[in-house]
Amino acid sequence: MKKEMRWRFGMVLFFSIVLMSCQEEERELIDPTIDDAIPIDSRLANIMKNVVTHDGSFDDIIDKGNCYSINLPYTIHVNEQEKIISQLEDYNQLSLSDHILIEFPITITRHDYEELFIENQQQLDRLAATCLTTDDDIECVDFVYPFRFVTFNPDTNIFNTVEAIHDTQVFGFMEDLEDNTVVAIKYPIQLLVYNNQNMDATHNEELLATILEFAKSCDENDE
């Protein structure tokens, strides 16, 4: 009960006072409405994580797993010819009919940006078997950086602003949020959708609706 009362008090405080940053360049008024709070277990929070989840499907022609990708550069043997994969364009030179062998060891990046050292093909095959046929990552929508989160911890009465600059950072930020932390986006923000069009979002409902509208608008690599 006390924890719930502290959380409610924090919500009221969070949405009723003016937040001023200690840093000179961040001294601007932040006045979010109560609708701007993003519950950690909400649909919007989950959808945002899907947008920033690492997409590992672009190199499936080699590693056969859409929930991770092989870190560049690395060496493969294509039809018994050695080839170094050093950039994304190198995948366009491969076809499904090619006989491809990976030169181990390699390092891979999982959907949650964890890096793993893989020593042989058997280890990679076991990892590939854990991937779902269709994963949850949203490849047709990207956040335009930077944008900012505003957080408030009712236990410590501490406000904070977090500048988001990369998918990796946003994924980790949302994964590490504590249950009692109140978080909101400092609107407006922009989304880059599949046709290279920028879409503005000015509140949570608009952000969720825009992501859902374009989430399946492109041919995702793992479908």
Distances (CA, A) of 3 to 6, 10, 168, 180: 5, 10, 31, 9
Q: What is the DSSP letter of 20?
A: -
Q: Which of 54, 165, 51 is closest to 108 using CA atoms?
A: 54
Per-residue pLDDT tens over the stretch 57-75: 999 999 999 999 999 999 9
Q: What is the pLDDT of residue 221?
A: 55
Q: Tell me phi and psi for residue 48, to 5 degrees.
A: -60, -40
Residues across the chain:
223
* Mean pLDDT for back-to-back runs of 10 residues, the chain (223 residues): 46 43 39 66 94 95 96 98 97 96 98 97 96 84 96 86 96 90 94 93 96 83 49
Which DSSP helix (H) or strand (E) runs through 61? helix 60-63
Are 19 and 159 in contact by the 8 Å Cβ rule? The answer is yes
Q: Which of 87, 39, 23, 27 is closest to 59 using CA atoms?
A: 87
Are 167 and 146 in contact by the 8 Å Cβ rule? The answer is no
Strands (DSSP E) contained in 35-99 are 68-70, 74-78, 81-85
| pTM for this prediction | 0.79
Q: What is the pLDDT of residue 181?
A: 87
